[in-house]
Structures are given as C-alpha cells and as structure tokens.
Amino acid sequence: MSGENDAAALAQRHRERMQRKKAVVDAGIARATVERGVVVVTTGNGKGKSSSGFGMVARALGHGLRAGVVQFIKGSFATGEEAFFRRFADEVSYHVMGEGFTWETQDRERDIRAASAAWDIAAAMLADADFDLVLLDELNIALKYQYVELDKVLAALAARPPRQHVVITGRAAPQALIDAADTVTEMAVVKHAYQAGIKAQKGIEL
C-alpha cells in the first residue's frame, strides 16, 4: 500500500508542477502579441548552423511561403540541400555564389568579387516583399573577412519589408549584427566525427 501511496503522491506532484509550468508558458504566449519579420542569426564553431537555416526554409515552404537563398561561401561542391530545394523553383530562388572556402581559393580579390555579387542578389531579395524568408548562408564569414560591408547589411536589414524573415548563418557573427538580430543561437562543439578522422558524408555534412 505504501508503494501505491508513493506513486500517487509522485503523480500528484508532477501534475502540480506541470500545471504551474503551463500557467507560466500560457502567460508568456499571451504577452507575445507583436507580429513582424524577425532576423535570426546562427553562429558559433559547432555544426548545424546552415542545417538550421535550411530547416527554416523547409518550414516556410510548408506554410506556403516563398523563400530566397544566397550561399556566400559554399559553392565548390554539390550539397544535398541545393539538390533538394532546386526541386521547388517556384517557391525558392536559390543562388550558389561562393567559390569555396577561403583556404581553398587563396585569392582575396576573387573572394571579394564573389561576395559582392552575392550581396547584390541578397540586397535585392531584402528589398522585395515577395520574399517571405531570406537565408543568407555563411554571410558571417564574408563579414568577418570584410568581403561585404557590415553597414550595408545592417541598413538593408533595417529597411526590409516589415513581415520578411531573414536567417543569417556562419561563424564569428559581428557584435553589431548580433545586436540587430531578434534571435541569436551560438552552436558549440561538444564532439565531431571529423575529429576522429571520419570524412564528410552525404546527408550529414554534404
């Protein structure tokens, strides 16, 4: 009988905790009444920044929204996300503008030209209300190396259509961009297969 009483008491305490938690969550939802576009930044040294961004593109498509994608760095190899989202040409305007990672190109002027061309497309998207969500993949890297002017990016974000969402990925997001963003997530490395000598694989890194 004691065991049954203990189980019942545990179940009751759990219900009470969940009721208190629900009240807090419901109150928070009730306070969140503003509806507008947000700027989301995913940064840090951990894996998953671009994956998170493309997940939001997929989510947007699920709601019937139109998305734009500009990849600032990647471009020297095929990726699964490019192959997938190009199937939705009417819903996603997809632009691979990079020529590879900086340690591969080893040519700063070439990188600047590629990043400038990518920014021209990105800026046009940020001024176009037909785009509900814009993903600027690895833009943070272009900002870090000063391939793209930070002030131009901040100005374009501030002037974009009110309901447009923007997702910016890449390591080393500048503080001014973090300050301007609505949601910022920093990915941290706990463990990575690469450290054990496991190569990048389709569906995971590619």
Instruction: Indicate whether 205 belongs to any domain.
Output: no
CB atoms < 10 A from the CB of 86, how many? 12
Question: Mean pLDDT over residues 172-196, rounded?
Answer: 94
CB 150 within 8 A of CB 69: no
Q: Taking the model in full, what pTM does it have? A: 0.88
**Which ranges in the chain belong to alpha helices (H)?**
2-31, 49-62, 80-85, 102-105, 108-126, 139-144, 150-159, 175-180
Same structural domain, 70 and 135: yes
Same domain, 43 and 125: yes
Question: pLDDT higher for 62 or 111?
Answer: 62
Rounded distance between C-alpha atoms, residue 122 and residue 128, angstroms: 10
* Residue 99: CATH number of its domain: 3.40.50.300
If asked whether residues 110 and 49 sit together in one domain, one would say yes
Assign 13 a pLDDT band (cuts: 50, 70, 90): very high
Q: 67 and 160: one domain? A: yes
Does 108 lie in the same domain as 15? no
- Segment 105-130 shows an average pLDDT of 91
Range of the domain at 11: 1-33
Same domain for 4 and 45, yes or no, is: no
Distance (Å, rounded) from C-alpha 168 to C-alpha 197? 29
Domain identity same for 20 and 116: no
pLDDT exceeds cutoff 80 at 98: no
Q: Say what the pLDDT of residue 32 is.
A: 80
pLDDT value of residue 97: 87
What does the pLDDT look like over 138-179, one tens digit per residue? 999 999 999 999 999 999 999 999 999 999 999 999 999 999
Of 156 and 103, more confident: 156
Domain count, the chain: 2
122 and 24, same structural domain?
Answer: no
User: Is 180 within a domain?
Assistant: yes
Residue 118 lies in a domain: yes
d(C-alpha 133, C-alpha 61), whole Å: 10
Confidence label for 44 from pLDDT (cuts 50, 70 and 90): very high
- Give yes or no for residue 9 having a pLDDT over 90: no
- Identify whether residues 5 and 86 lie together within a single domain: no
Q: What is the pLDDT of residues 49-68, one digit of tens each?
A: 999 999 999 999 999 999 99
Beta bridge partners of 186: 43
- CB burial of 106-140 (b: ≥16 within 10 Å; e: otherwise) equals eeeeebeebbeebbebbbebbeeeebbbbbbbbbb
**Distance from the Cα of residue 178 to its chain's centroid:** 13
**Pair (60, 96) in one structural domain:** yes
Assign 74 a pLDDT band (cuts: 50, 70, 90). Answer: confident
pLDDT at 183: 98
* Residue 84 dihedral angles phi and psi, to the nearest 5°: -75, -55
Q: Is residue 202 part of a domain?
A: no
Same domain, 13 and 46: no
The answer on pLDDT for 100 being more than 60 is no
- Are 177 and 154 in contact by the 8 Å Cβ rule? The answer is yes
